[in-house]
Amino acid sequence: MNNSFGIIGSGSWATALAKILTDNKHTINWLVRSEAMVNHINQQKHNPKYLSSVLFDTSLLNLSTDVAKIVSASDIIIIGIPSAYILDTIQTLPKNAFEGKKIISAVKGILPQENCLLNDYLKKEFDVELKNYFTVMGPCHAEEVATEKLSYLTISGSDEQQALLLSEHFTTPYINTVVNEDVYGVQFAAILKNIYALGSGVAQGLQYGDNFSSVLIANCADEMAGFLHKVGIHNMQVGLHDGEDPFTHKKKTNYAASVYLGDLLVTCYSLFSRNRTFGTLIGKGYSVKAAQLEMNMVAEGYNASKSIFTINQNIKAEMPIAETVYKILWENLSPAEGFKQIEQVLI
C-alpha cells in the first residue's frame, strides 16, 4: 500500500505514532499546535513538549498548523488528540473532507459533548462509513514506545483484511501488531479502562495496599466485561477462543487479549498512566481543578466517567465501581466515603 499518512495531534501518543511510522520510513503530514512547534521540530528534530528524547528524520515530516491542509494531503488520517478537543479541531472541515480516505482513531476516550464514539460522530457529521474507520489501541504507553520497549498494538476494523494491511505499517522491532474486527468493543474497553485506572489511583491516594488493589482491579475487569456484554460485544470469555483467525491464523481474540484485559491492567498499575496519576491526586485530597493544574495533561477517565454514567442509564449494566468514580469526580462524594461503598460490593 503506497499511502500518505496524516496525524492530527502532537501530544505524547501522537508523537509516539509519528515515531513508529517514520521509523518505517513513511513520510507523514503532521498537524501540530503552533508555528513555534513547527519551527522547533524542523530545527531541533524533536517535539519540544512531549517525548523530547525521540529524534525525527525531518525529511519525512510535513508539519502544519492547518488541519484542512493535513487532511487534504493524506490518504490515511490518524486522529490522536484527547476526545474533549476533537470537535474544536475538526468540526470546521467541509462535510466531504474525509471522502475516499481511511480514518484511524488513536483516541482513548468518548466525545464528551456528544456522549458518542468517534466513528458515530464521523458518520453523522462527515458521512464516514464504518468500513473506512479503524482503531489503533494498546496496551502501549507512549513513553515505552519512545524507549523502544516491546509493546503490542491492536488494529481493529470491520474489514479485518484491511486492518491487517494497515497493521503492517505499524509493525517494527519494538511493536508487535494484532488485528481484530471489534471496532466498538475496543473503543468502549479503552474508555472504561481509563475510568477504572482513575479509580485505582484514588485507592492509591487513599493508601489502600496492593492486596486491595488487586481485588479492585479484578472486579473492574468483571464490571467492564458486563458492560461490553450489554452493548453487544461477544468475545468476552476468558479461556475460550472461537476458532482461528482466517487472516493471521492465530487464536481468535477473547477478553484476556491485550486490547481488553491487558490494557486495563497496565493502565491501572503503571506509573506512566496519567489516569492513575490523576486519581492518586484526587485520593490525596486534591480537587478536580487542582489535579488538572498539577498534571497539565488530559486524563480521559474524567470526562469518560460522566459520559459512561449517562450512557449506562439506558444500557443498565451493573457498574458500582464506575458509578462511584463518577460520583467522586462530579457529585462531590468524598473519595474515602466512596471507597467505603466500593469495599462492600467487591467479590
Closest alpha carbon to 290 in 301, 300, 282, 298 = 282
Distance CA 223, CA 192 (A): 9
Amino acid at site 197: A
Residue that the C-alpha cell 502532537 belongs to: 10
Tell me the pLDDT of the chain averaged across its residues.
94
User: What is the CA angle 266-315-193, rounded to 5?
Assistant: 5
Instruction: Identify the weakest region by mean pLDDT among 122-131, 162-171, 211-220, 293-302.
Output: 293-302
pTM: 0.94
**For residues 310 and 248, which has the higher predicted lDDT (pLDDT)?**
310
Q: Which percentage of the chain shows pLDDT scores above 70?
A: 99
Phi-psi region of 207 (alpha: psi -120 to 50; beta: other; left: phi over 0): left
The 10s digit of each residue's pLDDT in 81-104 is 999 999 999 999 999 999 999 999
Average pLDDT over residues 172-187: 95
Delineate the domains of the chain, giving CATH numbers in brackets: 5-181 (3.40.50.720), 188-343 (1.10.1040.10)
SS3 177: strand
The reported pLDDT for the residue numbered 2 is 67
The residues near 154 (Cβ < 8 Å, ≥ 6 apart) are 135, 136, 137, 138, 177, 178, 179, 180, 186, 257, 258, 259
227 and 317 in contact (C-beta within 8 Å)? yes
The residues with which 253 forms a beta bridge, in sequence order, are: none
Question: In this model, does residue 256 exceed pLDDT 90?
Answer: no
